[in-house]
Amino acid sequence: MAGTIMLLASLTVAVYLDLRYEWLPNWLSVPLALAGLGIGANTNGLLGLRDHVLGMVLLLGIYGAIYMFRACRGGDVKLCAAIGAWIGFANVGAFLLSWVPLNALVVVGIAWWKNGFSARAMWREQRESVLGAVAWAQAIAMGGEVNPGATISRKGAHSHPGAVAIALAVVSVMIWSM
């Protein structure tokens, strides 16, 4: 119970900092990851620790790939690694199944809010982001050099707080596993 309260409090702080300052600090993510690993080791010994380390590494890899395409920020990657340490490998699938639609809702909601509910402006912003990511991936696949700042619109790619969808997905996993 105390672990759940600590996790929810940390996620509340993460959401606030991401919404207010667009910043997720290391002082929040690192202790959260260590506590998650400690809980994994405490509940099931070395097998629990292994499960939670695998969860952390898997979410770090998935979000690291998303970060490479500039679809999230570095703080989101570290926060998700910490969440993987908390939920363990067994719950990563449920987390991702929750996160994908929740993140889409957050992106659309924020874009509508920022653009005065203009569907055309939202589409233009998201299209620039997607086309930039595709151009970047094609250049890498073809062995060419790429200047990410020139090919990817930062406006679309960095315009939403990732901690909101991450926190909502964690809560849905907690409800799912009850």
Q: What is the pTM (predicted TM-score) of this model?
A: 0.76
When divided into structural domains, the chain yields a total of 1
- Write the CB contacts of 77 (distance below 8 Å, at least 6 apart in sequence): 60, 63, 64, 66, 67
Mean pLDDT to the nearest integer, 164-171? 94
The domain in which residue 70 lies consists of 2-176
How does pLDDT run across 21-43, given as a tens digit for each residue?
Answer: 989 999 999 999 999 999 999 98
pLDDT for the residue 59: 96
Structure-model confidence comparison of residues 37 and 144, the more confident one: 37
CA distance 86 to 35: 8
Question: What pLDDT was estimated at residue 152?
Answer: 40
User: Which pLDDT value is given to residue 157?
Assistant: 45
Residue 76 sits at the vertex; the CA angle it makes with 146 and 109, to the nearest 5 degrees, is 95
Region of poorest pLDDT, from 34-38, 88-92, 134-138, 163-167? 134-138
pLDDT at 79 over 80: yes
